[in-house]
Structure 1
Amino acid sequence: MKEDKFILKSKVYFNNQSIQLLEQISGTKAFIVSDGIMDKLGYLQKAVDFLSNAGISSVVFTDVHPDPDVKVIADGMKLYKDSGADVLVALGGGSVIDTAKGILYFASKLVETEGKNFRKPLFIAIPSTSGTGSEVTNFSVITGEDGKVCIVDEFIAPDMAILDSTCIQHVPQRVVVDTGIDVLVHSIEAFVSKDATDFTDALAEKSIKLIFENLELIYKDINNADARDRVLNASCLAGMAFTNAGLGINHSLAHAVGGTFHIPHGRSNAMMLTAVMEYNADLAGTANGYAAERYAKLAEMLQLPARTKREGCVSLIRAVTRLKSVLGIEDHLSALGIDKTAFENALESMAEAAMADRCTPTNPRQPSKEDIISIYKKCY
């Protein structure tokens, strides 16, 4: 019997200047995972100061880089273990939060192998980008020797998420695009997932609507505070949706190609999106299955033409294509400067990695290895 459930572990706080809530938490020592950008912009010091006002001292780890790998996790684990912290704060983008999750996950496993009980810290996530939704998810993506590995465990979901859009007002335009499209992919994949429910649908639908209404606005003007709040909220809503419903092959393909050619995660997802939607909807065939029906429902919600499933799918894909164009996202992987021979040589290994990815089982249409390769070729 399928066990339908909806879990939301994280308490979510949202408002301008809500980072000040750090003054109200309980603890003795905090281990803060952040990066050089948040340090340079002064947000890291703000966090340290607010924690100090609560009587909590801080140890800071800022050696985080995009696509965190096992070395970063190991370095962070050593400092975390020595700190004796009872509060863990992740302040930054998806890579920072993924690093904090990785440190927490592997630190607990290490303590367990020593036959001891792991004392879990209060885990607080404060995102500085509107994209991953990682502040409320049980997902973490770590780069290993064989590519990106997706960890899925309820243990690593933050206890508290603070959404303060002032923390994202200095985000570069390209990061706004990459992370914003990542939100859209999260929501669409959660909505068409085999494990979607009424609860995840409500979150995914709202997130999609907010992205279509506001992402272009903050792309043009990051100082649009209202739109900035809405996109940050959309990111969190999408995270709630996919941590319960799962994702699909859009992420599986993006993990593999991004890890192979070092493409930012959001951009990788954007490059796969329309081709994956066409495949899932079976536009080359009957366009009459589950995914086609779900895409058509989204088209109706967005008030796009959807008199038939096929028309709804085409309308939604066109709307996505238009949004990508307005945001300046390249049409094909080749436009990113990826060498054709190198790409062709990597097809087999990328397809195998995508097939084995943790996101593939909940895709609405189960692909073969040949299907994956065909989608990759279409995206190139």
Structure 2
Amino acid sequence: MKSGFRWEATIIEDQFILKTKVYSNRQSLQYLKQIKGFRAFIVSDSIMESLGYLQQVVDYLSEAGISSTIFTGVRPDPDVALIADGLKLYRESGADVLVAIGGGSAIDSAKGILYFSWKFGSAEDEEIKKPLFIAIPSTSGTGSEVTDFSVITSVGEKVVVIDELIAPDIAILDSTCIQHVPQRVIADTGIDVLVHAIEAYVSTKATDFTDALAEKAIKLIFENLETLYKDPKNDDARDRVLNASCLAGMAFTNTGLGINHSLAHAIGGTFHLSHGRSNALLLNAVMEYNADLSGGACGSAAERYSKLAGVLQLPARTKREGAVNFMLAVKRLKKALGVEDHIRALGIDQAAFTNALEHMAETAALDRCTPTNPRQPSNDDLVQIFKKCF
């Protein structure tokens, strides 16, 4: 991905769509100078503002003759109150360009603002013109810059919104925007990329097209994430991990995800844990369940994990051997990134965790990521996975 591209293909039974044009060179942020429009609404956070990236965006848009209204109220796990605040300012701005710069929370917030603006406008029979939507990630994790997914917190629970409307028109992958990310965030977001790719690969909606993207993302993560974690100034590793994040996003926006994300949404919303860390702590237990290791590893997921072992050139003479070796490789990577062995290591009280188990399992069962999981779980299955990870 050395230059921008647009790729759209449709298959009669299976479907693969990518509506986002991607720019991935370093310093590609300057592409904003070429944007056509009049007024921009920029969604960001105080970190991007303090690091100077927000001002760069404003300046580049100004060179294109575009004025800007700025909303920097983004915070982790954006909720409906935050979306409402941004929505009011957005509708007042009259913007024909929407820009999100920041991590997954900033891009999710912009998507939420766009989604509800469209819904409210439609309900009031307003004539609505969709803005040009540009997403600029500042972390290598969510892949949100190319997906039609958004996660919004409502009444303490994470709700997944999926709609073609909110997929960005343009994604700018400028790795200079992520060079200040702390080590722990590198680990959390990098494992999130890995989970996106793995879940896309074993999804019931996986295709040859999504497989290619997921396999490449997984390979890039195993080859570069530990290097970046140990040396955050490594430009090449940073480029590769950022590209992996985008590739995984392209895959899962077409396939959906699985119960790793459903469970992570539930526990993250309940105990306010980092999404990436939640995914990391659940990953091996979820793979063991999906592969049905205790039942003979006869399912499709075991075969798919075994194929991923082959991608990493690990022994895979049988489905079970390959699946186990892939899971061990994941476990080794997590250890190298300083990921805790169990949820309790994060300081969560056991009694509080036990009391929340049934509700978290019910929430995960209803999550929009669950239907495409390769093995459909009962609520008790989900409870047992939580218990195993605690």
Shift of 1:3: 3.2
Instruction: Identify the match of residue 338 of structure 1 among 314, 330, 348.
Output: 348
- In 2, Cα distance between the equivalents of 1:18 and 1:300? 35
Counterpart residue type for residue 368 of structure 1: S
- Describe how 1:214-233 pairs up with structure 2 within 5 A: 214-233=224-243
**Which residue is equivalent to 1:110?**
120
Counterpart residue type for residue 257 of structure 1: I
Instruction: Identify the match of residue 249 of structure 1 among 259, 275, 285.
Output: 259
Q: Does 1:359 align with 2:369?
A: yes
Shift of 1:92: 0.3
Shift of 1:2: 8.2
Counterpart residue type for residue 307 of structure 1: R
- In 1, Cα distance between the equivalents of 2:169 and 2:175? 19
**Contact 2:20 2:171 (C-alpha < 8 Å) held by counterparts:** yes
TM-score, structure 1 as length reference: 0.99
Q: Does 1:315 align with 2:325?
A: yes
Partner secondary structure for residue 247 of structure 1: coil
Counterpart residue type for residue 343 of structure 1: F
Counterpart residue type for residue 13 of structure 1: Y
Shift of 1:75: 0.1
- In 1, Cα distance between the equivalents of 2:291 and 2:124? 49
Report the more deviating stretch, 115-124 or 25-34.
Answer: 115-124
- In 1, Cα distance between the equivalents of 2:12 and 2:267? 33
Instruction: Identify the match of residue 85 of structure 1 among 92, 95, 98.
Output: 95
User: How many residues end up aligned between the 2 structures?
Assistant: 380
Instruction: Identify the match of residue 371 of structure 1 among 354, 372, 381.
Output: 381
Deviations along 1:75-120, one digit per CA (max 9) or x if unpaired, are 0000000000000000000000000000000011011111112211
Counterpart residue type for residue 301 of structure 2: A
Q: Does 1:138 align with 2:161?
A: no
Counterpart residue type for residue 174 of structure 1: R
Instruction: Identify the match of residue 280 of structure 1 among 285, 290, 315.
Output: 290
- Structure 2 alignment gaps of length 5 or more: 1-10
Shift of 1:198: 0.2
Counterpart residue type for residue 128 of structure 1: S
- Describe how 1:41-80 pairs up with structure 2 within 5 A: 41-80=51-90
Counterpart residue type for residue 152 of structure 1: I
**Which residue is equivalent to 1:197?**
207
Deviations along 1:230-277, one digit per CA (max 9) or x if unpaired, are 000000000000000110000000000000000011011001100000
**Contact 2:210 2:251 (C-alpha < 8 Å) held by counterparts:** yes
Counterpart residue type for residue 239 of structure 1: G
- In 2, Cα distance between the equivalents of 1:222 and 1:320? 21
Counterpart residue type for residue 250 of structure 2: M
Deviations along 1:332-370, one digit per CA (max 9) or x if unpaired, are 100000000000000010000000000000000000001
- In 2, Cα distance between the equivalents of 1:150 and 1:174? 25
- In 2, Cα distance between the equivalents of 1:3 and 1:98? 30
TM-score, structure 2 as length reference: 0.97
**Which residue is equivalent to 2:6?**
none
Counterpart residue type for residue 213 of structure 2: L
Counterpart residue type for residue 15 of structure 2: K
- Describe how 1:159-170 pairs up with structure 2 within 5 A: 159-170=169-180
Deviations along 1:169-214, one digit per CA (max 9) or x if unpaired, are 0001111011000000000000000000000000000000000000
Partner secondary structure for residue 278 of structure 2: helix
Sequence identity percentage: 73
- In 2, Cα distance between the equivalents of 1:111 and 1:124? 21
RMSD: 0.9
- Describe how 1:174-213 pairs up with structure 2 within 5 A: 174-213=184-223
Instruction: Identify the match of residue 26 of structure 1 among 27, 36, 61.
Output: 36
Instruction: Identify the match of residue 158 of structure 2 among 145, 148, 165.
Output: 148
**Runs of 4+ with deviation above 6 angstroms:** none
- In 2, Cα distance between the equivalents of 1:194 and 1:109? 30
**Which residue is equivalent to 1:157?**
167
Deviations along 1:107-135, one digit per CA (max 9) or x if unpaired, are 11011111112211000000000000000
Shift of 1:305: 1.2
- In 2, Cα distance between the equivalents of 1:260 and 1:169? 31
**Which residue is equivalent to 1:237?**
247
Partner secondary structure for residue 6 of structure 1: strand
Partner secondary structure for residue 284 of structure 1: helix
Instruction: Identify the match of residue 96 of structure 1 among 79, 91, 106.
Output: 106
- In 2, Cα distance between the equivalents of 1:246 and 1:81? 31
Partner secondary structure for residue 149 of structure 1: strand
